[in-house]
Amino acid sequence: MITAGIDIGSLAAKVAILDTTSMRIIGSACLPTGAAAQQAGLDALQSALQQADIDSGEIAATVATGYGRDILSLADWRVTEISCAARGAHLASSAVRTVIDIGGQDSKVIRVDADGFPVDFALNDRCAAGTGRFMEVMAGALGVTVEDLGELALSATSAAQMTRTCTVFAESEVVSLIARGLPPDEIAAGLCNATAMRVAALTSGLGTEPDVMLIGGVARNEAIAAAIGEALGVQLVVPEQPQIVVATGAAVIAGERRAVAS
């Protein structure tokens, strides 16, 4: 059976196409959401279908998740990101018991049981500090791309002290540090450390149990992954494609629900 998971987030639409026989991802895509979230999801689905070399008629079931899940008319079911993140992380590594998901506008920490189902979670959706949007704004202030921000931070021999976490105020602080002559790499390292401290604060009430997996687009930033691991005192697991883990979980759930319905 072939299933699809579509994760329409605030910054990107992600799709994972799963062969439930082999439990292998045979196609995936990640495209900017932009102003037309449903179209972004459909475009990402088409791109993933092309990669998988199949047509839409071969998809047995589809689950939509993310901020835009309710507007995707073709979905058979709509499921929260919490459940999808847990199932996707479990498929990537069955040893995972804690999932840290840093998205475009929020951060989540999810405790997962041995079967890959969520048992508890903590969510920060009131502030964009440390999220993908935060990193976009900070990279812009430093005059680099988001992709270059991590490499810049890794090259630093010391890190600037960041006192602000709000995106607006943090951007002003970055501009101020640049004006004072601090090297960009030190500022980038400071931003990564500030993000790590934010995640550590989110996990403080929930706790972390190994293995700990970091997912979401921000997980591709090696400097942030290293800073979070150091802040939590653990060796993080980062999957090969961290940005599609939630979509993968949605595809897993689609298969499970179709099997029950059959």
> What are the residues whose beta carbons fall under 8 Å from the beta carbon of 133, sequence distance 6 or more?
10, 11, 104, 105, 167
Residues 137 and 229 occupy one common structural domain: yes
How many domains, in total, are found in the chain?
2
- Strand arrangement of the beta sheet that strand 2-8 belongs to: 24-32, 12-19, 2-8, 61-65, 77-78
Specify the residue for token string 């993933």.
48
What is the Cα 239 distance to its own chain's centre? Answer: 11
Residues 116 and 212 occupy one common structural domain: yes
Q: What is the mean pLDDT of residues 18-30?
A: 98
Identify the pLDDT of residue 131.
83
Residues 247 and 233 occupy one common structural domain: no
pLDDT band at 125 (very low <50, low <70, confident <90, very high): low
Is the distance from CB of 132 to CB of 103 less than 8 angstroms? yes
Residues 217 and 162 occupy one common structural domain: yes
pTM of structure: 0.94
Residue 165 has pLDDT above 80, yes or no: no
Identify the pLDDT of residue 126.
63
Residues 88 and 183 occupy one common structural domain: no
**Separation between Cα atoms, residue 26 and residue 126, nearest integer Å:** 36
Q: Omega before 211 cis (within 30°)? A: yes
Residues 103 and 210 occupy one common structural domain: yes
Identify the pLDDT of residue 105.
84
Residues 107 and 231 occupy one common structural domain: yes
Between the ranges 9-13, 76-80, 207-211, where is the mean pLDDT highest?
Answer: 76-80
**Separation between Cα atoms, residue 3 and residue 13, nearest integer Å:** 17
Torsions phi, psi for 132 (to 5 deg):
-60, -40
Q: CATH number for the domain including 55?
A: 3.30.420.40
Residues 105 and 230 occupy one common structural domain: yes
Chain mean pLDDT for the chain: 93
213 pairs with which residues across the strands? 99, 237
Residues 132 and 44 occupy one common structural domain: no
Q: Which residue range forms the structural domain that includes residue 14?
A: 1-93+243-262
Residues 119 and 229 occupy one common structural domain: yes
Residues 138 and 148 occupy one common structural domain: yes
> What are the residues whose beta carbons fall under 8 Å from the beta carbon of 57, sequence distance 6 or more?
none
